[in-house]
């Protein structure tokens, strides 16, 4: 008998399932924060006297900070220890949530959202990493399926919970409870995590790429800042120069990663992935795909509440069919496994483009009132499309990544996903608020002004998902794993 066969296998940690529950609580808190905020935007706009671009930043600041933190904090968790990094992230996220809820000005709220996004990015990469090393191989599928379920539940609960908390006017507060509700949940996650999650040692010999972090972060921030602030400032020359500088910095980031790879040094984004044309094409498609949704719900919430007088709860309930569609699709997609990936991405693009186009015509045809029930079917179809597309698209991209780069490839795709969301918010916000200002200047009534601006902004989503539909056929044809072979690493959207 060989030594490898006779060597006893380490027993899995007996606390692993209850530790998973703690990780799911923290993951749920992080995910629900993305959807819950959209319902509160009109209340924040009125209560804090926020400008159009500032309202965009309430959403974009979190998404952008989260995107920029995913890769460096993921590597930092490898260095100092994933459990330690998770607990720091959970503590910081909880404190930042309290800071958001106590903000007395829009500037303070935006700054708190940046902090919240950074600590969310500190926490999120560790969650799957801890689960991966805590569970034996035969239990990982069951454990990971619970992450997909928690993501679906968060998307469903966010709009409804946000509406309930705002309408309840707890202690006379308006939008503040949507952030303060994270505090007791976060405290529970930190205390339980400190007791229950196994301490995983770090690898101090690993190094983080701080120059790469600076180049990538500065480049993306310059581009997004230029897009968001360009119209309010009248598109001065320096804004265009800032966007150009952002593109140069991204180019510098590429060259820096190449240099580190040539010298055998660690890279923020694995240079082998940057040279992998199939992967980079897939990352481009993921970025376009992810840019379509966050800005849409910002627009719909402002349309329903500021344009047609819906309460936050009514607005949240109107948006719920989309989240239900995402949840349904996650169950359906799991049955397909890794089969028919290109066809599923194409179908997702078609459902999203078709559902949002339908919604466009409903909004465009609205008169003095708008029927929330008319949103049900188009949003449900679009939600099924989104849920179908993300898991399929991630698998389609990662199947072209060598196994040794699967972890880095998954993490980088999540970063591209978040960057796409931030860019989408900036572009959709520009279209919507520019048209809205023009409508008010022309003397249109609020409902007509908001409906016209929202209908115009939705063309961005329709175009984005049609592009995804067309590009889906540019992926390489099916490989053996699409017909029953080994499945690649998949990170749920």
Please provide the DSSP assignment of 20-48 as one string: HHHHHHHHHHHHHHHHHHHHHHHHHHHHT
When pLDDT is averaged across residues 444-463 and rounded to a whole number, the result is 94
Of the pLDDT bands very low, low, confident and very high (cuts 50, 70, 90), residue 480 is very low
272-493 falls under which CATH superfamily?
MFS general substrate transporter like domains (1.20.1250.20)
Instruction: Delimit the domains of the chain by residue range.
Output: 14-202, 209-267, 272-493
Nearest CA among 193, 186, 189, 222 for reference residue 99: 186
Q: What is the pLDDT of residue 141?
A: 65
Q: What is the pLDDT of residue 488?
A: 40
Dist. CA 124–CA 31, nearest whole Å: 10
When pLDDT is averaged across residues 59-64 and rounded to a whole number, the result is 89
Q: What is the pLDDT of residue 405?
A: 63
Q: What is the pLDDT of residue 17?
A: 86
- Are the C-beta atoms of 129 and 7 separated by less than 8 Å? no
Query: Is it the case that residue 191 has pLDDT exceeding 90?
Result: yes
Dist. CA 324–CA 156, nearest whole Å: 6
Q: What is the pLDDT of residue 407?
A: 60
Tell me which CATH code domain 14-202 carries.
Answer: 1.20.1250.20
Number of Cβ within a 10 Å radius of residue 236: 11
> Tens of pLDDT along 96-153?
999 999 999 999 999 999 999 999 989 988 887 787 777 787 776 677 667 766 776 7
Name the average pLDDT for the chain. 85
Please indicate whether the domains covering 14-202 and 272-493 agree at the CATH topology level.
yes
SS3 69: helix
Dist. CA 394–CA 30, nearest whole Å: 21
- Give the helix/strand (H/E) hosting 97: helix 82-101
Q: What are the percentages of helix, strand and coil residues in the chain, rounded to 5?
A: 80, 0, 20
Nearest CA among 59, 48, 38, 47 for reference residue 160: 38
Dist. CA 164–CA 234, nearest whole Å: 39
> Tens of pLDDT along 215-272?
988 998 999 888 888 877 888 999 999 999 999 999 999 999 999 999 988 888 888 8
- Give the helix/strand (H/E) hosting 343: helix 341-364
- Are the C-beta atoms of 261 and 272 separated by less than 8 Å? yes
Dist. CA 240–CA 468, nearest whole Å: 28
When pLDDT is averaged across residues 398-404 and rounded to a whole number, the result is 71
Number of Cβ within a 10 Å radius of residue 334: 13
């Amino acid at each position: 008998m060989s030594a490898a066969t006779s060597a006893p296998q380490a027993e899995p940690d007996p606390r692993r399932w209850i530790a998973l529950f703690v990780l799911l609580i923290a993951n749920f808190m992080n995910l629900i924060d993305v959807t819950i905020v959209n319902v509160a935007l009109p209340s924040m706009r009125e209560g804090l006297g926020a400008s159009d671009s500032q309202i965009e930043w309430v959403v974009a600041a979190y998404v952008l900070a989260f995107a920029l933190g995913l890769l460096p904090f993921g590597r930092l968790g490898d260095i100092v220890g994933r459990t330690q990094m998770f607990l720091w992230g959970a503590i910081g996220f909880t404190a930042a949530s309290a800071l958001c809820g106590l903000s007395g000005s829009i500037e303070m709220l935006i700054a708190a959202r940046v902090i919240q996004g950074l600590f969310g990015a500190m926490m999120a990469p560790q969650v799957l990493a801890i689960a991966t090393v805590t569970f034996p191989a035969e239990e990982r599928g069951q454990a990971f399926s619970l992450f997909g379920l928690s993501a679906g539940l968060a998307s469903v609960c966010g709009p409804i919970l946000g509406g309930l908390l705002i309408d309840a006017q707890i202690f006379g507060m308006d939008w503040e409870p949507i952030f303060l509700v994270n505090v007791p949940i976060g405290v529970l996650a930190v205390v339980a995590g400190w007791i229950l999650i196994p301490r995983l040692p770090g690898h101090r010999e690993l190094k983080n790429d701080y120059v790469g972090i600076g180049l990538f972060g500065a480049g993306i921030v310059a581009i997004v800042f230029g897009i968001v602030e360009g119209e309010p400032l009248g598109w001065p020359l320096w804004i265009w120069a800032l966007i150009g500088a952002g593109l140069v910095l991204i180019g510098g980031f590429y060259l820096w990663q190449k240099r580190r790879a040539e010298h055998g040094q660690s890279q923020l984004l694995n240079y082998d992935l940057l040279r992998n044309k199939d992967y980079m094409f897939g990352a481009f498609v993921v970025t376009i795909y992810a840019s379509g949704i966050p800005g849409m719900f910002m627009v719909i919430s402002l349309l329903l509440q500021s344009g047609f007088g819906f309460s936050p709860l009514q607005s949240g309930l109107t948006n719920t069919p989309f989240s239900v569609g995402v949840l349904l699709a996650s169950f359906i997609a799991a049955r397909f496994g890794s089969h028919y990936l290109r066809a599923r991405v194409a179908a997702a693009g078609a459902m999203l483009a078709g559902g949002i186009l339908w919604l466009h015509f409903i909004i465009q045809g609205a008169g003095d009132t708008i029927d929330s029930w008319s949103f049900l079917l188009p949003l449900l179809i679009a939600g099924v499309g989104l849920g179908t597309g993300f898991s399929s698209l991630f698998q389609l991209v990662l199947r072209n990544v060598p196994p040794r780069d699967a972890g880095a490839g998954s993490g980088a795709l999540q970063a591209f996903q978040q960057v796409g969301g931030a860019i989408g918010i900036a572009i959709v916000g520009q279209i919507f608020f520019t048209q809205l200002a023009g409508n008010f200047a022309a003397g249109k009534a609020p409902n007509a002004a908001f409906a016209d601006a929202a209908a115009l902004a939705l063309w961005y989503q329709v175009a984005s998902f049609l592009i995804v539909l067309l590009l889906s056929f540019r992926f390489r044809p099916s490989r053996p794993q699409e017909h029953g072979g080994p499945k690649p690493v998949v990170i749920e959207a």
